[in-house]
């Protein structure tokens, strides 16, 4: 966390980074799950990932609400290749 501001300001970055957002408001906006019941940490967002298509639609959202639900980079590469071949992207 201490390095986050330096990462955000790093040269050459071409994508936005969200940092230090209000958890409940961000969860509502993204439709993400969040954990606010933990007694040993501050509230936090569960993993929420999106593949953004060339048409600016989201063909593959991933919402995680626990230990299961992560999408590996191999899955994303396969989905993008399929979308390009089928014209879905």
- How far is C-alpha 84 from the chain's CA centre? 22
3 state DSSP class of 50:
strand
CA-CA distance, 60 to 63, in Å (whole number)?
Answer: 10
pLDDT of residue 65: 62
Mean pLDDT of 58-84: 73
Q: 28: pLDDT confidence band, cut at 50, 70 and 90? A: confident
Burial environment of residue 80 by CB neighbours within 10 A (0 to 12, 13 to 18, 19 or more): middle
pLDDT at 16: 77
pLDDT band with cut points at 50, 70 and 90 for residue 73:
confident
pTM of the complete model beyond 0.75: no
User: What are all long-range contacts of 25-33, with beta carbons under 8 Å and residues at least 24 apart?
Assistant: 31/63, 32/63, 33/63, 33/64, 33/65
> Which is more confidently placed, 40 or 80?
80
* Residue owning tokens 């992560």: 70
Percent of the chain with pLDDT over 70: 80
């Amino acid at each position: 966390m201490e390095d986050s501001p330096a990462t955000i300001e790093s040269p050459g970055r071409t994508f936005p980074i969200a940092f230090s957002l209000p958890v409940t408001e961000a969860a509502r906006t993204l439709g993400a799950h969040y954990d606010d019941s933990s007694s040993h940490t501050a509230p936090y967002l569960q993993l929420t990932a999106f593949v953004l298509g060339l048409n600016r639609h989201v063909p593959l959202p991933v919402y995680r609400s626990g230990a299961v639900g992560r999408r590996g980079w191999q899955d994303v590469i396969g989905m993008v290749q399929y979308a390009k071949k089928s014209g879905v992207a």
